[in-house]
Amino acid sequence: MNDVFTSSVDLPVSPDEAFALVTEPERLRRWAAVCATVDLRAGGSWTWMVTPGAAHIAGGTVREVEPGRRLVLGWGWEDDASLPPDASTVTVTIEGTEGGSRLTIEHAGLVGAQLQGHAQGWEHYLERLERLAVKGDAGPDEWAWAPENLDPIVAGYAALGTLQPVLRALTAEDKPKPTPCTEFNCHQIAVHLMESISGLGAMAGATVEMPADGSLESKVSQMTDQTLSAWQARGLEGTVTDPAGREVPAAFGPAVLAIELLLHGWDLAQGSSQTMEVSDEVVAYVAGLAGPIIADGRGFAFGGEVDPVDGAGALDRFAAYSGRLPVPA
């Protein structure tokens, strides 16, 4: 016998905005996913990487679309034989209310323990959706805070998740501001980061180009997802050729990406007077990847190690190891 989960949340936004929150990747990344793709038409495909890692990708087929009113998705999980993509059905209905809209999730086709697990998941993420609609910011997702089974690819997605809020908060006034990466201002850091993402994708055989439209957060998120997906498909065994023509271990590519996302994210946060929130576990893992790379790059890619400021957290200490100090207040 199949079970059904149903829950509703009242949102202080219009039905059209509520619909956008559950269908547009840039909005989904604010409450439900690290990365998302949505081909919003009947028969189109969709994926949400709910938390960092290939084992946490929900996906399936878009079955019905009524903008502002109703969305029906075939739902399942990649690499999960018990509930593969399209094995269950999620129906989202939206009704206008005096204060905004009521969004209802009905998840049908769940069997046994699947109901309890998905009920916990939906309640968690619907609370984040409500917080986003009410406060404008859902905050860090504790379920994505310290991913299990870290490898260079998972660490890259975790670093991206911590960078996204920083990118969203950047303004045009921040572009010329200096950063701890002394040769680059905030704008130049962003350009350099996207060039690095593209180059590291090429090492895995992907063609990663900067999207013509969208915010900086959207561009970096899409490009990073393309690059890390290419590394996931290729695998981390064997060797690849880096841009300088050297043979390097395949894991070097996504490791460098995780390092760049974390350190340049810190640079951008410092330059724009923000705080980058990241778990000690993610910092420790990425710092472990970075140790030999930074040591080999002292004097050109990285400066000499500096003393961290008093009371520095894990990310500030990692930045100091790479030769960076915070921007003076």
- Strands 3-11 and 100-110, by their bridges, are antiparallel
Tokens of 184: 């680059």
Q: Which of 69, 102, 135 is the last residue of a domain?
A: 135
Using a pLDDT cut of 90, give the percent of the chain over it: 90
Confidence of residue 223 (pLDDT cuts 50, 70, 90): very high
Q: Say which CATH number the domain at 81 has.
A: 3.30.530.20
Q: Can you tell me the mean pLDDT for 312-324?
A: 95
Residue finishing a domain among 72, 105, 135? 135
- Considering the domain architecture, whether residues 177 and 45 belong to the same structural domain is answered as no
Structure tokens at 253: 């590519």
**pLDDT score at 2:** 64
Q: Is 286 part of any domain?
A: yes
Is 279 within a domain? Answer: yes
In a domain, 140, yes or no: no
pLDDT at residue number 289: 97
Fill in the DSSP letter of residue 148. S
- Tell me, yes or no, whether 99 and 215 share the same domain: no
Q: What is the pLDDT of residue 277?
A: 96
Pick the last residue of a domain from 73, 104, 135: 135
Q: Are residues 70 and 121 in the same domain?
A: yes
- Contact between 134 and 147 under an 8 Å Cβ cutoff? The reply is no
145, part of any domain: no
Do 162 and 284 share a domain, yes or no? yes
Burial of 118 (0-12, 13-18, 19+ CB in 10 A): buried
What CATH number does the domain containing 171 carry?
Answer: 1.20.120.450
CA distance 326 to 329: 9
Mean pLDDT over 121-131 rounds to 98
Amino acid at 72: V
Asked whether residue 117 falls in the same domain as residue 263, the answer is no
Give yes or no for residue 309 having a pLDDT over 90. Answer: no
Q: What share of the chain is helix, strand, coil (3-state, %, to 5)?
A: 45, 20, 35
Interatomic CA distance for residues 199 and 208, integer angstroms? 8
Q: Give me the domain span that covers residue 129.
A: 3-135
Contact (Cβ atoms closer than 8 angstroms) between residue 303 and residue 297: no
- Residue 30 has what DSSP assignment? T
pLDDT at 281 over 60: yes
Same domain, 304 and 181: yes
What tens digit of pLDDT does each residue of 3-57 get? Answer: 899 999 999 999 999 999 999 999 999 999 999 999 999 999 999 999 998 889 9
Instruction: Give the pLDDT of residue 329.
Output: 67
Distance CA 234, CA 87 (A): 27
Q: Considering only residues 315 and 310, tell me which one the structure prediction assigns the higher pLDDT.
A: 315
Using alpha carbons only, give the angle 247, 251, 256 rounded to the nearest 5 degrees.
90
pLDDT at residue 300 tops 90:
no
Q: Identify which of 176, 210, 214 has the alpha carbon closest to the alpha carbon of residue 195.
A: 210
Average pLDDT, the chain: 95
Residue 128 and residue 234 in one domain:
no
- Residues 113, 158 within the same domain: no
Tell me, yes or no, whether 109 and 191 share the same domain.
no
Going by C-alpha positions, the residue among 229, 286, 239 that lies closest to residue 263 is 286
Both tokens assigned to 275: 């705080």
pLDDT (0 to 100) of residue 328: 79
Q: pLDDT-derived band of residue 244, with 50, 70 and 90 as boundaries? A: confident
- What are the DSSP calls for 45-114, one per residue? EEEEE-SSSGGGEEEEEEEEEETTTEEEEEEEETT-TTS-TTSEEEEEEEEEETTEEEEEEEEEEE-THH
How many domains does one find in the chain? 2
159 and 128 within one domain: no
Q: Is 132 helix (H, G, I), strand (E, B) or coil?
A: helix
pLDDT digits (tens, 9 = 90+) for 161-217: 999 999 999 999 999 999 998 889 999 999 999 999 999 999 999 999 999 999 999
State whether 130 and 208 are in the same domain: no
Whether residue 48 is contained in a domain is answered as yes
Residue 273 lies in a domain: yes
Query: Are residue 239 and residue 285 in the same domain, yes or no?
Result: yes
pLDDT at 299 (0 to 100)? 82
Q: What does the block give as tokens for 179?
A: 């950063």
The predicted pLDDT at position 55 comes to: 86
